[in-house]
Structure 1
Amino acid sequence: MSRFLPAPGPARPLAAAQLADSIGLGGYLVCSALFFTRIVGLSPTQVGFGLTAGWAVGFLAGVPLGHLADRRGPRGVAMSLALCTAAALVLFLFVRAFVPFVLVACLYSTALCGLGAARQALLAGLVPAGERTRVRAVLATAVNGGIAVGAGLGGLALQADTAMGYLAVFALDAVSLAVSALVLLRLPVVAPTPASAKGAPVLEVLRDRPYAVVATLNMLLQLHIPLITLAIPLWVVERTDAPGWTVSLLLVLNTLSVVLFQVRVASRVTDLASAARFMRFAGVTLFGACAVFALSGFDMPAWFAVVVLVVAAVLQAAAEMMQASGSWEIGFGLAPEGRQGQYQGFFGSGFTVARMLGPLVVTTVVLGWGTAGWLLLGGVFVAAGAAMGPAVRWARRSAPGRAGTTLVSSAG
């Protein structure tokens, strides 16, 4: 268990908080679409528009809320935003029209994006730089484990298919966020960052072009997120001879892989050089996964299609763990100490963009173009991974005072 648990200290309450709210999140992810259509009474188009609008607002709010965490202290801001997210979920229970739904979706996404930035700033303030990537891997393990439990509970609500069941899932998510906020009280207070000098930019990250390039490349690699959650299920059902239950098999395989091996993979990332190298490996491995997924679309026996899809899913999971490990080291290592909140808010916005635009881009390319689309997407992954090393070196040279302790070698 020592591989999965943080060392005694601040990291353990952080992991407990992540585990608590991820259980509720798992139920939300499984049930939200049907709740909004069947209970709220919205059309799928209205749900898609509202959620996209919400994530767009969240994308814009991440940096300012991260800056607020720097200036006011990340623990208090993280607790407040967790409670705001819980409040938004409670409001969802009373929404029965399109405009209120969009407004609450904007509140939910804004609070959730700010919460992510504040938690990252809290982690940076409590955990030494050399241990952050490993601790972040433990948190990812907790999140995936919690989501798996929550998804199981959400599955019970789907099976019952009643208004009360869906409402209970949303209530569980709100309660789990409130519990996670209370858990943060066990952590020491991180001192706020003093205000910037007169004339200095308040949101420094918005003028940091090298960091913006690094964050953009990471966002391109994060397109594997809608790949596993949306494109692959549709591909399996519509373009392969594999049985429908293969979708569940692939999702379970992905979750278990992260739970069992993410910490081990992250332990190999020790500095910016190894992080950039892992990002390059992730790009190449994602290309391999895309090529094998494309192969599954050719005519073949159902059992062989399942085998091919499992091989592709294993490659995708390995790439996901490498990309995540490298991005944590890079995101923290290139951010100036005392500005982690706004920098993590900016870096984390790539995840928001991937959730907001990724489904449209990935499904259009993969389902619309078939094999050519898979190979094109794989080429994007390879290019982004290969460009990460030079981009990290540029960012490290442009501001030698960044948090990163090791200069990326020319081979990175």
Structure 2
Amino acid sequence: MHAITSRFVPPSGAPRVLATAQLAGSLGDGAFLVCSALFFIRVVGMSPSQIGLGLTIAWAVGSFAGVPLGALADRRGPRGTAIMLALATAGSVAAFLTVRAFVPFILVACLYASFQSGLGAARQALLAGLVEPGRRTEARAFMQSTANAGLAIGAALGGLALQLDSEGAYLAVFTVDAVAFLITGAVLTRLPAVPPAPPAEGGEPKLAVLRDRPYAVLTLINTVMLLYMPMLGLVMPLWVVERTDAPRWLVSAMLVINTVCVVLFQVRVARGVTGLPSATRFVRLAGLIMLACCTVFALSAYGSSAWPAALILLAGIVLQVAGEMFLASGAWEISFGLAPARQQGQYQGFFGMGIPLARMLGPILLTTLIMGWGAPGWLVLGVIFLAAGFAMTPAVRWAERTRPASALETTAPGPQPAPGTQRLLTAGPRHR
């Protein structure tokens, strides 16, 4: 029993409270993201292209909003800022209840994306302030595992609204999501306050991360690796249906496998990261695994019948989720370990920009590459993943050289703590 609880239950204290808050928000988001597009199409009367344009604009705005909102968490304290942003997110979701035209949709979506990005940065700063460096990656893994479980359960709830297909059902889902973020804010009040960062030294810019070129390169490399998100959510369904003989229901099965594997194994994988050297090794391994994954997906087009193609695709999704978990574990350690201790909020907000950027740029890039070029496109994508994975090592070394030792916190591993969706297709956030 001890071994089981240590794998699935976060350690008591801050990690468990943060994971509980993550669970509440992801439950609501899972239901919201499944239903939102159909609500705006069937009830509001918007076109799919309008929704796509609006979400692209919203996540472009949100990706940049995370940095100043993260800096606000540094200056004012991450707990209060995270609570405020959770409540603001609840308000923006509630505002969707009144949206009945394209322009208001864009405005509310921009607020929603900005508050979500800021909440992610503030939550990361809160984790950094309450969990010792050697345990942060594992605590972050518990949060990710919990988030995936919440998204899956929420998506199932959203499926009920899809089945009813009525305005009342969709509005009920939006209300549930708003209440979920109110609960998130309430749960965060159980955490102790983290003191604000000391005032900036004379001449230091307020948003120092914008001048940190090594950290910008790290963020860029991570963004390239995050192309697996639109690959899984957008390209794979198109590939399975249009380029293989596999049954269409396999798309859903692949998403379920991905989610279940993250819930079951992300924490175990993350425990292998004990500092920056192991983190860069994990990212390199992720690049190799993603190359193998893309190669297997390319082979699926040559299956002679449904079941051989299905087996090849299932092998590919197992490799994909393994690469995803190794990447996440390494990237979390790198993002925390190379951020100045008193500027975690703005640095986490900047590193988190990779998620919306990958979601914005990935669809056009990957559909052109994979659906346009076919199997050779998969091989090109695999080489891109490989190159990015191996580029992380010299980038981390460069970043380490540019930082005074006093500005960073040790990432030496602490003692082991006591026991204590589908991947969604819309442009919603992947919880950080």
Common topology (TM > 0.5)? yes
2:155 is aligned to: 151
- For residues 173 and 295 of structure 2, what CA distance do their matches in structure 1 show? 38
Letter of the 2:203 partner, please give it: G
Residue 22 of structure 2 is aligned to residue 18 of structure 1: yes
Return the offset for 1:406.
6.0
2:125 is aligned to: 121
1:298 is aligned to: 302
Kindly report the root-mean-square deviation, in angstroms, between the aligned alpha carbons of the 2 structures: 1.1
* Contact kept in structure 1, 2:128 and 2:336, CA below 8 Å: yes
- For residues 235 and 319 of structure 1, what CA distance do their matches in structure 2 show? 20
Q: How does 1:336-375 map to 2 (within 5 A)?
A: 336-375=340-379
Residue 209 of structure 2 is aligned to residue 205 of structure 1: yes
- For residues 376 and 244 of structure 1, what CA distance do their matches in structure 2 show? 25
- For residues 341 and 65 of structure 1, what CA distance do their matches in structure 2 show? 8
Aligned residues: 407
Q: Taking CA–CA contacts closer than 8 Å with sequence separation of 6 or more, which of the two structures ends up with the larger relative contact order? A: 2
Residues 406 and 116 of structure 1: is their aligned pair in 2 closer, same or farther, counting only changes over 3 Å? closer
Letter of the 2:410 partner, please give it: T
Of 128, 132, 138, which residue of structure 2 is paired with 1:134? 138
- For residues 403 and 138 of structure 1, what CA distance do their matches in structure 2 show? 24
- For residues 196 and 97 of structure 2, what CA distance do their matches in structure 1 show? 36
Q: How does 1:227-238 map to 2 (within 5 A)?
A: 227-238=231-242
Of 205, 221, 227, which residue of structure 2 is paired with 1:217? 221
Of 88, 93, 98, which residue of structure 2 is paired with 1:84? 88
Structure 2: unaligned runs, 5 residues or longer: 413-432
Letter of the 1:11 partner, please give it: P
Of 52, 68, 72, which residue of structure 2 is paired with 1:64? 68
SS of match in other structure, 2:247 = coil
Residues 364-398 of structure 1, C-alpha deviation per residue, up to 9 Å, x if partnerless? Answer: 21111111211111111000000000000010111
Return the offset for 1:173.
0.9
1:51 is aligned to: 55
* Contact kept in structure 2, 1:332 and 1:403, CA below 8 Å: no
Of 91, 97, 104, which residue of structure 2 is paired with 1:100? 104
Return the offset for 1:194.
2.2
1:405 is aligned to: 410
- For residues 52 and 115 of structure 2, what CA distance do their matches in structure 1 show? 19
2:380 is aligned to: 376
* Contact kept in structure 2, 1:273 and 1:406, CA below 8 Å: no
- For residues 40 and 326 of structure 2, what CA distance do their matches in structure 1 show? 35
- For residues 30 and 85 of structure 1, what CA distance do their matches in structure 2 show? 18
* Contact kept in structure 1, 2:286 and 2:324, CA below 8 Å: yes
Letter of the 1:45 partner, please give it: S
Letter of the 1:373 partner, please give it: G
SS of match in other structure, 2:342 = coil
- For residues 405 and 193 of structure 1, what CA distance do their matches in structure 2 show? 18
Q: TM-score, structure 1 length as denominator?
A: 0.97
SS of match in other structure, 2:320 = helix
Return the offset for 1:139.
0.3
* Contact kept in structure 2, 1:129 and 1:403, CA below 8 Å: no
Residue 185 of structure 2 is aligned to residue 185 of structure 1: no
Structure 1: unaligned runs, 5 residues or longer: 408-412
Return the offset for 1:105.
0.7
- Between 1:373-382 and 1:353-362, the stretch displaced more is 353-362
SS of match in other structure, 1:338 = helix
The runs of at least 4 aligned residues of structure 1 exceeding 4 Å deviation read none
Residues 183-218 of structure 1, C-alpha deviation per residue, up to 9 Å, x if partnerless? Answer: 001000000012212221111111110111011101
Letter of the 2:386 partner, please give it: V
Could you tell me the percent identity over the aligned residues?
60
Residues 299-322 of structure 1, C-alpha deviation per residue, up to 9 Å, x if partnerless? Answer: 421011110000000000000000
2:285 is aligned to: 281
Return the offset for 1:109.
0.4
- For residues 334 and 188 of structure 2, what CA distance do their matches in structure 1 show? 25
Return the offset for 1:172.
1.0
Return the offset for 1:13.
0.8
